[in-house]
Amino acid sequence: MEQSSGAIVRSYAKINLFLDVIKKRSDGYHEILSLFQNISLYDRLIITKIDRGLEIKSNVDIENNILYKTWDIFCSKFKEPEFGLRITLEKNIPMQAGLGGGSSNAAALLFYLSDQMGIHKKQILNIASEIGSDVPFFLFGGTAIVKGKGEIIEPLDPLTGYKVNIITSNGISTKKAYQSLNPTLFGKAPCSPYILYEAYKNRNITEIKRCTYNIFEKIVTKANKEISQNLKKLKKASLISALTGSGSAVYGISFKEGEFKFIPRGIEYEKVKL
């Protein structure tokens, strides 16, 4: 039986303006140093309260949907809500593309549950990284330096005034991409993400071009000609083009032309009556 209230949550994609790997940790994870930026491409979670449990419908077939994991971990760490949820997930963010769609969805559900149950953001952040390495970022959103395995977030004043085009190809497994990294590649970025951030703030095109970096780009483009061609295509009409995450999506950034834009949030939450 449905209850009376629900919500629509937009969960936004991200791009990595900078991504380096510093080392492989003893726990098997990789230590990253990155500059994350949310863009206006988004998924929609249409949430309706029901009596018990979690039901998910989606326009895309998703094996092991991260929303189930999010619900299970939330219920194990806090008390199970006295209501269930029916979620209709409208996927627009391509999967296995380095755009953070699944992590963004998970953060959106955490945000909604914490609001409904009056749980402080700090407590939610403590479990976010258990769900996925990128999930904590989306609870802050906008522009941020990201460190550790993704759980250390340094929010920055949001970057604005940039447009983004995205091209995707066949999905790439994040796990396999990290497994393919040779330690000799670690820490080889031409500058720090802080310098790149300042370059974006000051619209310093020369520094933006010099400091844009993704450790996976050379590896991925060698193995995938389509991604290499997509980068070249975007470069013709952009200030820069680069791979995001471990791929497969590539982006081009410009001042005027682009389907999407930089935005200052990872989640947009609007309560509605359904």
CATH 3.30.230.10 domain residues, the chain:
2-157+262-273
- pLDDT score, position 3: 52
* Angle between helix 121-131 and helix 101-117 axes, rounded to 10 deg: 150
Catalytic residues: 14, 134
Q: 6 and 189 in contact (C-beta within 8 Å)?
A: no
Chain centroid, CA 12 distance in Å: 7
CA 133 to chain centre: 10
Q: 10 Å Cβ neighbour count for 226?
A: 14
pLDDT per residue over 38-77, tens digit each?
A: 999 999 999 999 999 999 999 998 989 999 999 999 999 9
Interaxial angle between packed helices 121-131 and 66-77, expressed in degrees from 0 to 180 and rounded to the nearest 10: 130
pLDDT, residue 1, reads 45
Identify the burial level of 82 via C-beta atoms within 10 angstroms of its C-beta, where 0-12 means exposed, 13-18 middle and 19 or more buried. Answer: exposed
Do 187 and 144 touch, CB atoms closer than 8 A?
A: no
CA 253 to chain centre: 17
Q: Tell me what the mean pLDDT of segment 217-241 comes to.
A: 92
Give residue 161's pLDDT band: very low, low, confident or very high (50, 70, 90). very high
* Mean pLDDT (whole number) for 128-135: 94
Give the fold, CATH level 3, of 2-157+262-273. Answer: Ribosomal Protein S5; domain 2 (3.30.230)
β-strands 143-148, 30-50 pairing: antiparallel
Secondary structure class of 69 (helix, strand, coil): helix
Amino acid at 83: F
Q: What is the mean pLDDT of the chain?
A: 92
Give residue for tokens 């013709």: 236
Q: Where are the beta strands (DSSP E) in 26-107?
A: 30-50, 54-58, 84-90
pLDDT digits 0-9 by tens, 77-126 = 998 899 999 999 999 999 989 999 999 999 999 999 999 999 998 999 99
- pTM for this prediction: 0.93
Query: Where are the domain boundaries for CATH 3.30.70.890 in the chain?
Result: 163-259
- The bridge status of strand 2-24 relative to strand 213-214 is parallel
Cα R_g (the chain), whole angstroms: 19
Domain 163-259 grouped into CATH 3.30.70.890: yes
